[in-house]
């Protein structure tokens, strides 16, 4: 049975479970599944698209080198009408950013659009993570990413912890100006009422000041 037939017969949480199981088969060496999943990310059935995207996401998380050659083919999946396909694919673009930066950076306009729109928590979260991975590739990328993370801090306060994590990921390539900005935000949230945000901000401030192991 092809993975198309399998994905057509599964929906919702079951489809997500199937996607993870198929991803495990790819990780064990079945690259034919991966190739078909890439093609099905733009299929005319949202359950198939989302199931295929789950395969891509989980493989990219463990072995981005398997997915990175397909980024160009996956770009159109960022236009999918359902948010779940978009968030899994933008997530994969983040995981693959270091291995295929020339294609990964082309998703920046999509990321900006996702942040500006009422995309929902999951798509916002994965987009911010993508930005952190992309920014960590080079100082040039970081200069494009930092303003988007600043925008997200203002527009999507519920994503503050994830934004601070992306700032931390960028630190190794940040120039003095970027580090000063990141330090400003770390200090701003170091007394946040949310414990997880506060802890992340304190850790980030120590990193910027050079007192935390990199």
Residue 121 tokens, joined: 């928590």
pLDDT at 13 exceeding the cut of 60: no
The region of weakest confidence among 18-22, 30-34, 52-56, 171-175 is 18-22
| pLDDT tens string 125-162 | 999 999 999 999 999 999 999 999 999 999 999 999 99
- pLDDT at residue number 176: 92
Q: How far is CA 5 from the centre of its chain?
A: 28
Residue 203 scores a pLDDT above 60:
yes
Residue 174 tokens read as 């940040």
- 208 vs 74, 108, 119, 180, 199, CA distance in Å? 35, 25, 31, 8, 14
d(CA 79, CA 148): 20
Split at pLDDT 50, 70, 90, the class of 15 is: low
DSSP state of 193: S
The answer to whether 22 and 55 are in contact (CB under 8 A) is: yes
Asked if residues 53 and 84 have their Cβ atoms less than 8 Å apart, the reply is yes
Tokens read off for 18: 């199937």
Mean pLDDT of 185-192: 95
Residue 92 pLDDT greater than 90, yes or no: yes
Instruction: Look up the pTM and report it.
Output: 0.93
Dihedral sign of CA atoms 66, 31, 9, 13 in order? negative
Q: What is the mean pLDDT of residues 79-108?
A: 96
**Is a pLDDT exceeding 80 seen at residue 171?**
yes
What are the C-alpha distances in Å from 82 to residues 45, 183, 198?
10, 36, 33
At 211 the pLDDT is 59
Cα angle vertex 101, ends 98, 103, to 5°? 135
Residue 189 near residue 197, CB atoms below 8 Å: yes
């Amino acid at each position: 049975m092809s993975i198309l037939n399998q994905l057509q017969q599964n929906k919702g949480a079951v489809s997500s479970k199937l996607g993870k199981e198929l991803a495990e088969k790819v990780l064990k060496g079945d690259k034919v599944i991966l190739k078909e999943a890439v093609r099905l990310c733009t299929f005319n059935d949202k359950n198939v698209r989302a199931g295929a995207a789950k395969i891509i996401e989980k493989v990219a998380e463990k072995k981005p080198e398997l997915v990175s050659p397909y980024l160009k083919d996956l770009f159109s999946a960022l236009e999918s009408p359902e948010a779940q396909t978009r968030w899994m694919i933008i997530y994969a673009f983040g995981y693959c950013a270091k291995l295929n930066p020339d294609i990964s950076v082309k998703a920046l306009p999509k990321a900006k659009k996702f942040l500006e729109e009422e995309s929902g928590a999951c798509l916002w979260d994965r987009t911010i993570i993508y930005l952190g991975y992309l920014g960590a590739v080079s100082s040039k990328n970081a200069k494009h990413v930092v303003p988007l993370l600043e925008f997200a801090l203002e527009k999507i306060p519920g994503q503050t912890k994830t934004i601070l994590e992306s700032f931390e990921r960028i630190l190794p390539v940040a120039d003095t100006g970027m580090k000063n900005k990141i330090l400003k935000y770390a200090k701003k949230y170091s007394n946040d009422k949310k414990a997880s945000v506060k802890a992340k901000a304190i850790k980030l401030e120590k990193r910027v000041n050079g007192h935390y192991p990199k």
